[in-house]
Amino acid sequence: MAMEVTLPDMGEEIEDVTISRWLVKEGQEVSAGDPLLEIATDKVDTEVPSPASGTVLSIRYSEGEIVELDAVIAVIGEATEATPAPADSASAVDASDQFVPAVRAEDDTVSRLGSMPDTQGEEVRATPVARRIAAETGISLSVIPGRGGEQLTKGDVEAYLEEMKRASSEVAGVETDEGGKSEGDVASVDSSFVPLELRRLAATYDIDLRKAAGGRPLGALTRQKLIEFARENMGLTHLNAAVIDSVPARASMPTGGKGSSSKPVVAESASGERKEMGETLVPHSRMRQIIARNMVQSAFTAPHVTTVHSVDMGTVTGHYQAHKAEFAQQGVRLTLTAYIVAAVVEGLKAVPAANAEWTEEGLKVKQSYNIGMAVALPADATGVGGLVVPVIHDAGDMNLLGIARQVADLAIRARENKLTAADTKGGTFTLTNYGTSGSLFQTPVILQPQVAILGTGAIEKRPVVVSSGKPYEASVDDYLAFRPMMDLALSYDHRVLDGASADTFCAAVKRELEAWPEAT
Q: Which amino acid is at 175?
A: E
393: which residues sit within 8 A by CB, 6+ positions away? Answer: 368, 370, 426
CA distance 144 to 158: 10
CA distance 511 to 515: 6
Of 166, 218, 228, nearest to 195 by C-alpha is 218
Of 372, 504, 390, 339, nearest to 450 by C-alpha is 372
Q: Which of 107, 177, 494, 503 is catalytic?
A: 494
Cis peptide bond upstream of 264, omega within 30: no
Q: At what angle do helices 314-329 and 336-350 cross, to 10 degrees?
A: 120
Bridge partner residues of 388 (DSSP)? 375
In this structure, the number of other CB atoms found within 10 A of the CB of residue 32 comes to 11
Bridge partner residues of 275 (DSSP)? 267
SS3 of the chain: helix, strand, coil, percent, to 5: 35, 20, 45
Is residue 380 flagged as an active site residue?
Answer: no
Measured between its terminal Cα atoms, the distance across the chain in Å is: 56
CA distance 399 to 494: 32
Is residue 323 flagged as an active site residue?
Answer: no
Give residue 201's Cα distance to chain centre. Answer: 22
Tell me the torsion sign for CA atoms 412, 413, 415, 421. Answer: negative
Of 415, 416, 378, 375, nearest to 392 by C-alpha is 375
Q: Which of 94, 397, 478, 498 is catalytic?
A: 498
Dihedral angle, C-alpha 192, 196, 201, 203, nearest 10 °:
50
Give 428-442 as a DSSP string: SEEEE-GGGGT----
CA distance 37 to 347: 41
Residue 56 and residue 28 in contact, taking contact as beta carbons nearer than 8 Å: yes
Structure letter (DSSP) for residue 308: E
Using DSSP's 3-state secondary structure scheme, residue 69 falls into: coil
List alpha helices for 282-389, DSSP H. Answer: 286-301, 314-329, 336-350
User: Catalytic positions, please?
Assistant: 494, 498
